[in-house]
Amino acid sequence: MAVVDVKVPAVGESVQEAMIHKWYKATGDYVKQDDVLLELETDKATVEITAEQSGVLEVLNKEGDTIGIGDVIARIDTAATKPAGAPASAPAAAPQPQAAPAKTPPPPTAPSTPPAVPAGAAPLSPAVRRMVAEYELNPAAIPATGKGGRLTKGDVVQAMEGGATASAPQVPTPPSAPAQAKAPAVSLPTPATPGTRAEHREPMSMLRRRVAERLVHAQNTAAILTTFNEVDMTNVMELRKKYKDDFKTKYGVGLGFMGFFVKAAVAALKAYPLVNGWIDGNEVVFHDYYDIGVAVSSDRGLVVPVVRDTDKLTLDEIEKAIVYYSTRARDGKITVDELTGGTFTVSNGGVFGSLLSTPILNPPQSAILGMHKIQERPVALGGQVVIRPMMYLALSYDHRIVDGKEAVQFLVKIKDMVEDPTRLLLGV
């Protein structure tokens, strides 16, 4: 029997392990060369593994298993022949359905005839009426302690504990003197329909684990501060409204807000180069290039694809790059190289409705810009109160390398560039 091992390939310098996200083939399937066998998930990207040769597959690890680079996860028997009349490969076995949870018993059916209430007695509340009907109690046989002789829920609970039954109603004897009503007994509410309190566990994805590690690392190693400002989006919105159709027709991509902020960030990074650098030991590393990471939320977690050399790109090229990388990230096709090497990050929480937040650094970078929801607010302008579309901006930075003065001036630079978009064209 000629057997070919299916091994976990090396997918990046810093990647030491991966997790099996999904098997597309199952043990016993006949696979052809270059068929996709499974999808691996690393802490940075997902990778499809294909068959090197044709044959019958034997799976050695299940979905969710964490394996190291170079580990054997399956074998292909190349000596086996394709079964006659069988398709090239049988579909992967569907996961076995989990046992259905035990059905919750239906609540007792209340009798169609409501419990009788003695003449002259206070009417029963809906909760009390339901309890006496459910447990077949006689309301006239239960001492009432409520205001005006009203039967309370506590009275019914005490009667149940004391063994009250549905005996024949007795005519209460009026007291000779007004009796002082006792405080109703306090008891825990009884749910009408008992429910289940289920829970289940799922393994964290490799990407989620890596993101968690990096966030904790950033909090523990950097002196993170955040400064805020707000930007009037009137001019950008009017410019976008006026030219978005022509822009779409000429370049084949929508004119979004992110392109303006990336261009403004490049101008600010050139003016304050420390924000574009980071600390390496006892040295400060300056970068003469501007690779901007754009945070993208996917089903598997947050990823930050990098748009490289943004200072050399036009507005339409930036928009195309953002759409391209965002689509690849959401489809799980992003590669490790496309996620590494950024010098600064822009995150737009406003697309989810966030009004204000404090973004966390993306190590080893020294700063991250947070955009937020555009919201009309009253602002003072020229001595008058006017309504303008405003956006809060947040800049989180590493205070070990960036001083507060530089951080504030950096954010003001972005504000000025966005509020007057012509400055982006003139470079002033």
Q: Give me the active site residues, please.
A: 399, 403
| R_g (Cα) of the chain, nearest Å | 34
The DSSP-derived string for 90-102 is: PPPPPPPPPPPPP
Number of H helices, E strands in the chain: 8, 19
Report how far residue 169's alpha carbon sits from residue 159's, in angstroms, rounded to the nearest whole number: 15
Q: Are strands 17-23 and 224-232 parallel, antiparallel or unpaired?
A: unpaired
Select from 70, 7, 67, 56 the least CA-distant residue to 27.
Answer: 56
Query: For the range 339-342, what are the long-range contacts, defined as Cβ-Cβ under 8 Å and sequence gap of 24 or more?
Result: 339/44, 339/45, 339/303, 339/304, 339/305, 339/306, 340/12, 340/44, 340/306, 341/291, 341/306, 341/308, 342/291, 342/292, 342/293, 342/304, 342/306
- Tell me which residue has tokens 């560039």: 417
Report the distance separating Cα 423 and Cα 410, nearest Å. Answer: 15
Q: 384 phi and psi, to 5 degrees?
A: -130, 155
Give the torsion through C-alpha atoms of 262, 268, 270, 274, to 10 deg: -110
d(CA 253, CA 236): 17
